[in-house]
Structure formats: structure tokens, C-alpha cells
Amino acid sequence: MNISKLICLLSFVIRLSNAANVTFTNPILPGFNPDPSCIFVKEWDNTFFCTTSSFLTFPSTPLWASKDLIHWKHASYAINRGDQLPELYRNSQLQTEGTWASTLRYRDGTFYLITSYVSWHDGWGPIILLLTSTDPYDDASWTGPIRFENPEKEIDPDLFWDDDGKVYMGVARGIFLHQVDLSTGKVLETFTVWNGTGDRNPEGPHLYNKDGYYYLGIGEGGTETNHSAVISRSRSISGPYEGYENNPVLTAKDTDAFFQTVGHTDYFQDAAGNWWCVALATRSGPDWEIYPMGRETVLSPMTWDEGGWPIIDPIQGTMSGPLPTENKYVPGDGFWVHEGDEEDFEPGTQIPRQFLFWRPPKESLFEISPAGHPNSLQVLPSRVNLTADSQFEPLEEGMGFISRKQSSSVFRFTVDLEFNPKDADEEAGATVFLTQYQHIDVSIINTRSCSSGELEQRLRFRPEALGKPGVEVPPTRTITTPQAWVGKPIRFTITLDESQTYNFTVAPADRPEEEIWMGSASADIVSGGSGPFHGTLLGVFATSNGGTGKTAAYFSRWRYRPLKQEVEAGTFLPIKE
């Protein structure tokens, strides 16, 4: 066989392989990863890139990379310094503030990420921000943000280049298109286009130029169980836009599907020309009561024939489509979204890339392997605890809290704590955290004995559900720390089982068989409420609870092991290591 025939045969085999449907499971970006926007970039070695929302977590606006749409690795954070967005330091009582839905696009060697910072601090007034990068695997490569004019005070910005070189920014609610100057953020011209099918909250616009039409996809119905994706098109960018007669193109409303709240879509093609849809969804079933990981990113194959409308497969836990060949070679020093943690905080290392703060941190509160405590993460106590108070000043005081996203339906999280509190009310421990008003803690705390008034080191289990009135909350449980444990490392263990119950235990780190159960709590406590857009974080904290204590907490042997994913109601699949 000559070389040319061999090349043709290999090309045919590759196309055939790409065309064959492959089974995959949702979500592709599990855990707190809502409002996805994704692209395929041939120039970067045929790589897919996605971004998701951050709200008050920091670093903010993550970028994910994949070669095969299934294995996703963290590439960078577009907002990785507090001075890029100092408004994130505000002490807002509304936990839904922060960076909302972004759009990611690529053009002429540059990645563009446009997002909105949302706050009610001085009344409703979202700030639209544009960041750019020429290296998606390098935090330092992200420049900006440029602050854009936002005359309608709207959210969910989209970015679109027309064939004539003009650039447009779409915003919601009540979809507007603005011609903009990318270098200054100035709005040059404005069009009111399409407001959906008449349902509430038309938002999340994305504009596509295909087959002589401008297609405008949006979400509507609100990001709850009525959420839907709808689409329209026009021959002119300024309209009029005609809605698809078979809208919505994707939804789970009025169904008993396990994946609910489906919407906020983005569409893109792979190297073989196949079309794909990403959307957000919650694994809650129609009851929409227990979904601790909040809104996650799901994937569906779609067809989009020339001159026609997109047809998208309904979201399920197990699906199939013409996936690219499996490929886990993704550069950079990031982490895989499905993997667990084995962190020993070795001297000379940095805060792990997957760790997150609630708002930009006061960096002096955290140190890896401080003098006298190698292989530990030192957390100094903040004045405020995880709930904080109205006098809290995040920039000056900081919060002694650090975490990672919960990324699996069943898991085991353990961390060792060396903490010998000296003053009253000093506290350190581990937590399942949704917002400041919804978290479940297990800790060591110094309290005064009711009988003698002497300080006494105790172990405490305490759920906080201020953000979800009416939910059933187990009582706080406090026990005296066994004398043999005092002054020695104590292991905190948090597990989540198939019943969606968190279980909290403590044990001496060197004798884990002496484990003591501290309490259990339903994941209902950390679902919705004050964090309807959020997902849970697993972390550690140290606080003086408003007192004068300054005793450091030393955390070591941090282990997070994701065990199973629930892909349909009651169906759990083991996570491969």
C-alpha cells in the first residue's frame, strides 16, 4: 500500500472513530460550576475551554481545559488578585453577590472573558468586566479588567464579532445588543432585540452567526425548576428576531427528570464539526429540595442542520455522543475536576490550586509549613467566625477559612488539627459550607465550665441554618475533649453517604480507631436558601469568635476522596481513581 492510500485509510479510521457514539456521564464539571460558557480552540492543540461562575469564592472566574470533553483540568483563574476587583471585599449580607455568568470567546490569538460583578451594596448596579489572555494556562497572563458601560444595568454579558469587524455585547434581562469598543468599554450603539417566549427572566444571551442567520439563544423562566433554553434568529443582527416554533430547545420543567433547572446553554463545535451543548443543572429531581453541590455543568450532543434549528438531546446522567478520542494530555499545573486531594503542605509549596476562599483572603492568616510546624497549613484566627457579622471588614480583618469544592455525591474528607486554645471562645475545625448563613461545623472550642467557670477544651458539632428558615436542624452537640487527646493532633472526618446525610466524627490522629461520632445532618441544610446559586465547599476554619484569642490552628494530612456520583435518582456510580 502506497503512502497516500495509507494516509487516506488512517484519515477514514479517525473520522469513523470520531463519529462513533461513546457513553459518558453528567455532570462533566461536577460541584459548584454553574453558568457554563465553552469554546473549541483549534490553535491551542484542539482544546476545549470552559468558564463557570464564582460568586464570592476566590480566586474567581476559573478556566477549564479538556481534549476530549470528559476529562477537565483547571487551567487558570482570570480574576486571581484582589486588586482586579476590589468590590469583592465588600461585606454584603446578601450571599449571592460576586462574579456571575461569564462568556468565554477566542479570536486572533486572544482569549476574551467577559463577566459581571453583581452587588446590591449601593443599589442594583452590575459592573461588566472584560479580561483577556494570550496564555490560558497562566494566571498572570490575564489582563484587565476593562470596565464596560452598562446603561441598562444588566447582567450575563455575551461577546460577538460580526463579519464586518464590529463587536457586540449582549446583556440580559430584556435582551439588548450593544456595539462596543473593546479597548475602552464604551457603548457605541444599542438594539433591543428578543425577549424570549414571554416567560420571566430572559437572560444568558449568546449570539451565533450560522448559515446566513444570527441565532440568539437565551435562558428564561428563572434558574429554578422552570428554567428553559430558547432560541430565535434573524437575517440582520439588529432584528427582527423570530422565535423557534418548537421552543424550548432544552428544558427539564414539568418532568420527573433527576437533572432539573436545566438551562443557560452555550453551543460549540468540535474538530470533526459535531455540535455540542453545555448547560447548568441541579441533581435534585423535581422535588428540588436536596442538591448540595448546587448548579453544575452538563453536556449534551446536538444536531444543527444547515438553515435549521438546533436539536439537543435531553439531559440525563448517562448519555452518548460522538466524543473525541480520549486524551488526558492537558498542560499546566492545574488539578482535574474529578480528582481528590492528598495535601501534606510540604515546606516550599504554595496554597493548592483547588483551594478557595470566601472573598479575597487576608493572606497573612495563612501559611504553609511555618517555623516549628512543617507539613501543616497554619490558619490564624479571624475575629469573625464563618457566619461573621455586620461589622466585618473583609479587607482589613479577613476570614480564617479555606476550602475546596465538594465534587461528588458520596465522599470522605479528613483533616488533622493541632490546636491548643488558650483564651475563651477560640475555635478551629472543619466545615461543610454553602454560605455564611448555611454551614455545618465540627470543631475544638474553648469554653467556660458551667460549674467551675474554668476554661475547658470541648468538641462541638453545630449546624447553622439562618439562611434557610423552616429546615429541620439537628441540635448542637458539645462534649468534653478526652484528656488523653488534649494537646495532640485530632482527626476530623466528614462523610456524605447515599442518603445525602453528612456524618461528622473525631478521633486522635494516631489512634483513629477511637473515633467518636459528633453528629449527622441532612444535605437539605446546605441546599438552596441563602445560596440558591451556590454549591457546597469543604474546608477548615479558625476564629476567636470576637474574643482576644490569637492561637494558631495547624491543619495537616488533608484528604478528600470522591467515592461515587449519583447519575440518576438512587443510581450511584463509583468514581475511578
Q: Which three cell numbers stand for residue 405?
A: 469544592
Active-site hit among 97, 203, 270, 566:
203
All three cell numbers of 395: 479587607
Alpha carbon distance 351, 49 (integer Å) = 24
Active site (annotated) includes residue 203: yes
The Cα–Cα gap between 478 and 473 comes to 15
Closest CA to 506 of 379, 419, 376, 405: 419
Residue 38's H or E segment, with its range, is strand 37-41
* Spacing of C-alpha 497 from chain mean position: 22
DSSP string, 365-391: GEEES-TT--S-EEEPPBSS-SS--TT
Decide: helix, strand or coil at residue 513.
Answer: helix
Instruction: Determine the Cα–Cα distance for residues 412 and 435; give it in Å rounded to an integer.
Output: 21
Question: Residue 8: which region, alpha, beta or left (left: phi > 0; alpha: psi -120 to 50)?
Answer: alpha
Listing DSSP states for 103-149 in one string gives EEEEETTEEEEEEEEE--BTBS--EEEEEEES-TT-GGG-EEEEEEP
Cell 470596565 locates to 147
The DSSP call for residue 164 is T
Residue 83's φ and ψ, nearest 5 degrees, are -75, -10
Terminal-to-terminal C-alpha distance of the chain:
42
Cα distances (Å, whole numbers) of residue 282 to 24, 251, 310: 18, 12, 23
Say if residues 554 and 419 touch (Cβ distance below 8 Å).
Answer: yes
Is the distance from CB of 206 to CB of 158 less than 8 angstroms?
A: yes
The answer to whether residue 35 is catalytic is yes
CB–CB of 459/518 below 8 Å? yes
3-state class of 330 per DSSP? coil
Q: Are 386 and 362 in contact (CB under 8 A)?
A: no
**DSSP characters for 34-53?**
-S-EEEEEGGGTSEEEEE--
Cis peptide before 301 (omega within 30 of 0): no
Q: Count of residues for the chain?
A: 577
The separation between CA 199 and the C-alpha centre of its own chain, rounded to angstroms, equals 27
- Taking a C-beta distance cutoff of 8 angstroms, is the pair 405, 354 a contact? yes
DSSP 3-state assignment of 187?
A: strand
Catalytic site residue from 35, 266, 343, 367 = 35
Which H or E run includes 540?
strand 537-543
Cα separation, 120 vs 98, whole angstroms: 10
Rounded to whole angstroms, how far apart are CA atoms 323 and 21?
7
Catalytic residues: 35, 203
